[in-house]
Structure 1
Amino acid sequence: MSQSQVSRGIPHNVTIGPKQLKGILTIPEPVIGIVMFAHGSGSSRLSPRNTYVAEKLQDRAIATLLFDLLTEEEASDRRNVFHIPLLATRLEEALVWTREDPNTAALSVGLFGASTGSAAALVTAAQNPREIAAIVSRGGRPDMAGAALAQIQAPTLLIVGGSDIGVLELNEDAYAELNCTKHLHIVPGATHLFEEPGTLDEVVEAAGAWFTQHLQAEEK
């Protein structure tokens, strides 16, 4: 895909990595960086919640890459949804893709993870400390990143629902393991999917502010 083929602000279908994973790239004008989405629990690039977040990030001059971490065949095996090394490998392939594509090569990179995708994002950041400028986890399972938590250098924001019983406690434990610039944002009354009125908008505001601050700080 050449620079001339990309119209700013228009979603473009792309394919990533050896498995030709399907993705949607949107680059606004102007642009300060790019956020790659790591979906969880079997969600695809068409996840309505992540699509909504992506659109709001684009309004903040942030490019977005929504893509499937698994092929349809792989996703049919539920175990793969929890296979963090596999998910992290796919996210790293997408990172390589952004560095090789002329439309995104110069952009600082952020990661937005949800559910098990959050763990994959954190592992990827730990393995690529110079490549990732910021991380946001939404209702994630950062605890599944294990020892990688202590190795992360990128500023990390954990967003979790105040009524997401069990996951809230796991986020608090993971937060304690992080040694980077960090913040734990608890959304009062929100459950795991942030379906309660106004809760997803609070996620969007917190994530947008975090990425705007840290992607601009690392702007190339």
Structure 2
Amino acid sequence: MQTLQQEIRVDDVTLGGTLEIPDAARAMVVFAHGSGSSRFSPRNRQVAAGLHRAGFATLLFDLLTPEEQRHDSIGAAYRFDIALLARRLGGTLTWLAARPDLAALPLGLFGASTGAAAALVAGAQAPRVGAIVSRGGRPDLAGPALACVAAPTLLIVGGLDETVIGLNRKAAGQMSCEHRIEIVPGATHLFEEPGTLEQVTRLAVDWFVRWLIAAS
């Protein structure tokens, strides 16, 4: 396993990232974290570890600079700016495509909370994206882009996260691509209950294997 700390120049800012590449990687998954989080999110890192065991390379990166994160802790000026987050994710995908060692790998996106909306918007604009997974996401914030998403999309929601379940069902009704909602029983929004994040990881791995590896 290679672990590489990266500086990604996007949108006239430099974003920190962690690129992890297992031996004989079969596909790549890029993570878009949620509100108030970063590339060090323990939940996303746990999901990434499960993907590594299944042969996926991963990129976890900061959607905001440290200064933006400090301002964001006071208000929500950046974390709900889906256009900004999606633009940075799209620029990161362009940066990744320039790496000859990774450019040919099938590509998926994993988004959490508001990062899920950014993943859907960026995925709608990037034909190379072959699959998308949302964890506790706000796909409704992707707006008109939902109708343009072509990549098969899995929406994972906690069974006790009733408001977000409703928002995911509303968003799914606007999607014409292959999609499915998976509700994890007994889980709240952050999937902190024992065993629930393991279920998220299993669902994500199965979805990405199906659409990025078995379908290629």
- From 63, 70, 91, the equivalent of 2:64 is 70
Q: Would you say the 8 A contact 1:149–1:178 is kept in 2? A: yes
**Alignment CA distance shift 1:218-1:20 (3 Å):** farther
Structure 1 Cα separation of the partners of residues 25 and 36 of structure 2? 30
Gaps of 5+ in 1: 1-8
Q: State the SS of the aligned residue for 1:157.
A: strand
Give the Å deviation of 1:216. 1.0
Query: Aligned residues: percent identity?
Result: 54
How do residues 192-203 of structure 1 correspond to structure 2 at under 5 angstroms?
Answer: 192-203=189-200
- Alignment correspondent of 1:181: 178
Select the residue among 1, 7, 31 that pairs with 2:25: 31
Residue 97 (structure 1) shift: 1.0
Q: Deviations over 1:158-202 (max 9, x none)?
A: 000010121111011111111111110000111000001111000
Q: Counterparts of 1:61-100 in structure 2 under 5 Å?
A: 61-75=55-69, 76-77=71-72, 78-100=76-98
RMSD: 1.0
**Structure-2 separation of matches of 1:111 and 1:143:** 17
CA-CA distance at 1:218 after TM superposition:
5.4
The letter for the 1-side match of 2:181 is L
Alignment match, 1:5:
none
* Alpha-carbon distance, 1:17 to partner: 2.1
Amino acid at match of 1:84: I
1:48 corresponds to which residue? 42
From 110, 113, 122, the counterpart of 1:112: 110
Q: 2:99 aligns with which of 98, 101, 116?
A: 101
Query: Where in structure 2 are there 5+ consecutive unaligned residues?
Result: none
> What is the aligned length?
210
Deviation string, structure 1 residues 56-103 (Cα, Å, up to 9, x no partner): 101000000000000011122321000000000110011001100122
Amino acid at match of 1:148: A
